[in-house]
Every structure is written in structure tokens, then in C-alpha cells.
Structure 1
Amino acid sequence: MDFRHLGRSGLTVSRIAYGNWLTRSSSESEETEHACVRAALDAGITTFDTADVYAGGRAEESLGRALKGERREGLEILTKVFAPVGPGRNDMGLSRKHVRESIDHSLRRLGMDHVDVYQAHRFDLSTPLEETMEALADVVHSGKAHYIGVSEWTADQIRSGHALARELKVPLVSNQPQYSALWRVPEAEVIPACEELGVGQIVWSPLAQGVLTGKYLPGGAWPEGSRATDSNDGSAELASWLNDDVLSRVQRLRPIAADGGLTVAQLSLAWVLQNPNVSAAVLGASRPEQITDNVKAAGVELDDEVMARIDAVLGPVAHRDPAATVAMSPRSAGWRLA
């Protein structure tokens, strides 16, 4: 496993992080979850990403149990706050009330006294940014988190939040955007702003919800048990990718991957990790062997020719519009988790 500093902070994270978003929101058993966590640890992964809203809080609980007995100082634990976690008007968002209550609930579920990075899951349009940043600063100053981060904030929002964080003397060190060879939205504005500010990316969906594994074939039925066939496991996230043009292009990655002795998934992960502002890529898994196989992408260096070949294949269908990073109210029915 390779490691990298998270932005310009002193915190190092594993280049592949383990995340329990969609896979742990489905009917997967806790036994499988623990086997995946064990595979991640055996592969050298030390960075684990979750959120209060995943599986209604059960994801944090399961992760905490799976990591029980591990040396806490050897792990980097990240969780998030923003999404509705209850029926009340204040059970959501980034108000002082919700942030301060949510960190306590997350720590209880994880069975830990602190997390390493506490992340604002989205930008809250309904709460003053000053209130949010002061509440996150309180979390750090109380010792319940070492650093703060954000997820899917625009470049302007990151700049504003970072300026306030500096005033409050708390380290805003990370952003968690969707990023893959098919979703290049952060490249135009978010990544340049973060490079300037010293904020690192911990990216989600580096395999485009599994499309960049090559398992979905054009014109064919979806593999049994795959995310595309599970209405409870985020299949709606795949809709924009499951067309013959995209899937045919992904199949054209096979000879490129084979030339480097890689699978399509490993090639796709290595592509993401070539970006110097990407500190880590978050991977989920429904089987331990997926972790074991995919971590082999860490440390792979793709030369300029290979990067150009990938871009020639996927570039015409990649999403790049910065406007796709949008702020949403925590009360919005359609906001996406990451």
C-alpha cells in the first residue's frame, strides 16, 4: 500500500480508502462487512470512510465493530454530517445544533472517542456558513476530530470555508468529490482551488459505480447480483452510464489494461490516482476479493501515452461541466450520498 499526505496537512492516508456506502446500505450481512474490512486491513488500508446517514447509522456501527481491537492510532477514520437522520426539523443540515449532536451520535455508533476527519457531507444553503464553520471548529477544539473536510462543495464554497477555517484555527484539509475517468467535473474549478489552498481530494466512485470495472457489457443483461440489478443498492446512480456508447468504450480499455498487466478496474483506479491532488480513492466492496484485487492499483504509474489512450477512449463521453457540483438542501429528496 502507498500512502500520501492529505493535502498539505501532516496527516497521511492510504491511497486506497475503504468506504461502506452503498454496499453496506443493502442486505449484505455483517459477517461479509467484517470480512471486507479484514481484507482491507490485510491489504494495508488504514483509511476508512463512512457517514452518519449510511444505512440509517448501521454502517458506522458495523464499521466500529469490525475495527474493534485494532490499534486506533494506526487508523484514519472519516465520517460525515448533513443528511436527514431523523424526522425532526433539526435532524439534518449543518446547524450548530445538528453538527454538535451528530458528532456525539457518530462517535457512539463507532465506539470511538474521536474521528480523524469530520466532513460536511454537502454545503448547507439553509445555514450561515459562519455558523457551520464555528460548529465544526468546536468539534476539533473539543478533541472529537483532528481535522475537518467537506464533500461536493464548489470551488467558491471551498474557498469561503477555508478562509473561515483559518480564522478559527482549524485545519480544513480535504474535499470528497465524485471523480473518475467518466466523471471529471472537479478538474476545471474544484481541484485547482484545492491545489492552491492545500486541500486534498478523497474521491468517491472512482470506478463510476462499477461501470469502470468492465463487468457491464453493451447489449447484454446486467450481471446477476450487481448493483444495476439491486433497487436497494443505488442502481439509480448507474443510469447515466448504462448505455451502449459508454459501455462499448469501457470495453476498449481492456487491451490498454492488458498491456500493463492490469484489470480494467485497476487501470481505472490508477488513472484517478495519477492526479497529484488526489490523496486517496474510496472503494466499497461486496466481497473481500474485490478489495484484494483493486488495491493493486496503488503505486501503479501510468505514463503519458497510456493516459492519452484512456482519454481518447473515454474523453468524448466524460462529464466535465463544473455546474454539476451543486449545493442542495438537506431536505431535497434527490440529493445523492457519497
Structure 2
Amino acid sequence: MSRAEAPGEPMPKAAATSGTPGPGPEAVRTPGPLWSLGLLRSELVTTFRRWRTLALLAVLAAVPVLVGIAVRIETSDGSSPGGGGGGQGPAFISQVSNNGLFLVFTALAATLPFFLPMAIGVVAGDAIAGEASAGTLRYLLVAPAGRSRLLLTKYATVIAFCLAATLVVAVSALAVGALLFPVGDLITISGTRISYTEGLGRALLIALVVAASLVGVAALGLFVSTLTGSGIAAMATTVGLLITVQILDQIPQLDALQPYFFSHYWLSFADVMREPVYWDDLVRNLGLQALYAAVFGSAAWARFTAKDITS
């Protein structure tokens, strides 16, 4: 008795209609690298064409505009804008009126604690749960993608959004700074002078560091997205965790734990503006983000590959 005639086993559709046996397991096509690139391209196009994504990028682009206008109004009488010393975070705002390139550093420092991670949390939280709530996750898995390949593609898309969101803030700040303030040679935190071209290079390096600082949040959001079938719940949970961690990072009694919070070294990008560049906290930040990406990426993979997909 053949496999197609065995009792209790459904006949393949092709065998039922034509009388010929269906293809064996060896005939199933394994997706190649070009197919994987096509899947990634499709995910990128889908993500960046959503109105929600475009709205998030528009809000991020508006932050440097508002900061630049506020500084311009405040310094219109010749006074200096507020900002403390030390070159940490918003302290760069005191230099914006002297050189518009400092608006890039100020805007990144202003958006990094909340706006940027919130945007990443929304996109990452919706990556898997959004497909489940829309009823499209099962159809994605019908294609020869495989769960691991699909999860990796989703994470790569979120990382691409991290980079795009950071560059949107940096480019918007660069344009507004050049329009509203003078530009030229920069004075570093260490007091040395560097050329405007070198300053642009450091601004690009800072943008890349900020984007890399968000890969841990992306992995956390992706993991949360595999725990629920509701995109809204996943996004809200991820954003709630971001806010909670940053509140805990400000409590002095938790100083022993704070170096392990993913947000603790975010503002270390200011060390790029030292001469020479101070790498210690930058390396700690990147290493911590890699650790979070590995832990929560593995957790997301373990959950997603064992999860029953019903929608």
C-alpha cells in the first residue's frame, strides 16, 4: 500500500486531483540568500510606508526644530541659553548659539532619554504582535521563511529603523543649526579646537553611537512582542518598561544596579567630543547593548519558535 493510500493519512492535493503522488520532502525548496534579502526588503518597505512610522519620524524631526527656535528666541537679546557644565547631555545647549553644529549633539541628547527609545519601542513591540493581531502572522509562516528567519528579519528591520530615526534627528538638527546659527570650527569639551569638517565626522560618529545604543531596546521590544498577540499591548508594555528603567536609573539607592540598566551609559556619546576621545564609557555602553541584544534576542527566539501560531 502506498503513502497516498494509507488509511488515516490525507492525500496530497495534487495526488487527489491527478492520481500522481505529491512531491516528497526533498522537493521542498529551501529559501536562498536572495529570497531572504527579498523578505528583508519587503519588511523594510512595509515598515517605512506605515503612517505610524512616518508620524514617529516626523515628531523626531520636529524636536531639533523646536529646540533651535527656542534657543534662537532666548538668545535674541544676546544672553546665553541655559545648560550646565561638564558637557553631559543638554549642557551642549550652551554652545548652540555659538555654533549651529552643537544643535546636533543637543537634539540627540534631548531625544535619547524618551523620544527615540519610545519610537523604537513602538516599532519593535509591533513587529510580531502586530502581525498576530492583524491575522497575517500565519500567512507569513506559510512562505518558506521559517520562524528563525522571520524573527531575524523583523529584528534587522527594527535596527534599520533605529539608524533611520537617529539620522533623521541628526540631519534635521544639522539643517536647522546651519539656518539659525553661525557654523565653523568647534571647541571640544577638552578645550581644543577642531575644524568644521572634523566636527561633522564626529557628529556622524555620535549618531551611529546613539543608534547602537538602542539595539538593546529593540531586542527587549521584540521579546515583548512575542509574548502577546496584541500589538497595542506589546507597544504599551515596551514603552512602560523603558520609562520604568529610566526612573530606576535615577534613584541613588540603586546605584549598585544602575550600571546594568540599558539606559545608564546612553549619554556617554558626549565623550566623542573630547580630545582625545574618551572610550571607556562608550565601550561599556556598546558592550551592555550587545548583552541585552543577546539575552532578549535569544529569549525572543526561544519563545517564538515554540509558540503556537493561531492568527
Give the TM interval when normalised to the shorter protein: under 0.3
Give TM-score, length-normalised by structure 2. Answer: 0.27
Write 1 or 2 for the structure with the bigger share of strand.
1
Write 1 or 2 for the structure with the bigger share of helix.
2
